[in-house]
Structure 1
Amino acid sequence: MTTNETLTDHDRIEAVLGALSDAWNDNDADAYGALFTEDASYVTFFGQVSRGRTAIVDGHRWLFARMPGSRMTHGATADREIRFLTSDTAVVVGQGPGTIVPGRESATDRISTVGFVVVRTDAGWRFAHFQNTRLQAPPA
């Protein structure tokens, strides 16, 4: 097991991506929102934009109440890239199945490309921006 002293920033970003999935899977809107900066922006699967941690928490509290037991896979791991823009800012882009809702075995019909801007804060790495876009074939 890697100790905190030997974790790289890449490892720490991987950990915050995992914590995001864990908070979703616990249906814990407060823990989910705590992983975002106070002024974060959040673009949903449906294109709605939440601005600020409070709006992100409120939106997820509403969502978790309507989808209890939904599951998020860890961090869109397919083709995931963590690219550092500066020592304190990274962009993460990856693909993965959408959230699995109760009564369904998988979400392979809901594959999304997700993007994050992750920044180093006094509390550790936090998400300053998130966007979730359903993967679709281009129009003919």
Structure 2
Amino acid sequence: MTGTTTSPDLAAVTAVLRRSQDAWNAGDGAAYGACFTDDATDVTFAGTVYQGGAEIGRAHQALFDSFLKGTRLTIEIVDFRQYGDTAVVVTRGEVAKGTPKKLGKLATYTLVRQAGGQWRIAAVQKTKHKPLMEAVSFAFQPATRPA
């Protein structure tokens, strides 16, 4: 994961995302699920919705033991915004065996600071970036291009 930390909260949030990445890379579903709140929501790239850290960990362990065996998660923080005890983080990333050629997926994380000051992931939504579709949209409707 890349990104610089400039505040204690950004550093703590980055550490949670790094722990989730390390758990993924180790194929450790329990450690991955522990990065989430007990009532977290994980909307996967495939559109599956998991509820709660325990279910997220259990389901990901099954994935790590099969379809995602030996994969590595790469995450780069694109945007960080904090609202009191809540942080919204947009990342660019990829799951691949080895080093990815590009970071073609985006994820929006909502993290919360819980009692005792520990940050955990409360929600994540993952989306594949579709540059061709985006370019067509911008060409036919330039007002859709972000600032």
TM-score above 0.5, yes or no: yes
Q: What is the aligned counterpart of 1:81 among 76, 79, 82?
A: 79
Q: Which amino acid aligns with 1:83?
A: R
State the match for 2:42 in structure 1.
42
Q: Distance in 2 between matches of 1:76 and 1:114?
A: 10
Kept after mapping to 1: 8 A contact 2:34/2:54: no
Structure 2 unpaired stretches of 5+: 1-6, 137-147
Number of positions where the alignment pairs a residue of Structure 1 with one of Structure 2: 126
126, 137, 142: which one aligns with 1:132: 126
Indicate the residue corresponding to 2:58 in structure 1. Answer: 58
The C-alpha deviation readout for 1:23-67, integer Å capped at 9, x for no partner, is: 101111000000000000000011111111222012101100013
SS at match of 2:124: strand
User: Residue type of the partner of 1:84?
Assistant: Q
- Residue type matched to 2:88 in 1? V
Counting aligned pairs with the same residue, the percent is: 36
C-alpha displacement of 1:68: 2.0
TM-score (norm 2): 0.78
Instruction: List aligned pairs for 1:1-140, cutoff 5 A.
Output: 8-66=8-66, 67-73=68-74, 75-77=75-77, 80-85=78-83, 87-96=84-93, 98-101=94-97, 105-108=99-102, 111-122=104-115, 124-136=118-130, 137-138=132-133, 140=136
Q: CA RMSD in A?
A: 1.8
State the alpha-carbon separation in 1 of the partners of residues 113 and 99 from structure 2: 36
Structure 1 stretches of 4+ with a deviation exceeding 6 A read none
Instruction: Assess if the C-alpha contact under 8 Å between 2:13 and 2:119 holds in 1.
Output: yes
Structure 1 residue 94 displacement after superposition: 2.2
Distance 1:114 1:56 in 2: 16
The CA deviation at 1:138 is 2.2
Deviation of 1:129 (Å): 0.1
Following superposition, the deviation at residue 99 of structure 1 comes to 0.6
* Contact 1:36–1:126 (CA under 8 A) maintained in structure 2: yes
- Aligned partners of 2:60, 2:35: CA distance in 1, in Å? 13
Evaluate the alpha carbon distance shift between residue 12 and residue 105 of structure 1 in structure 2; reply closer, same or farther with a 3 A threshold.
closer
Conserved 8 A contact 1:99-1:107: no
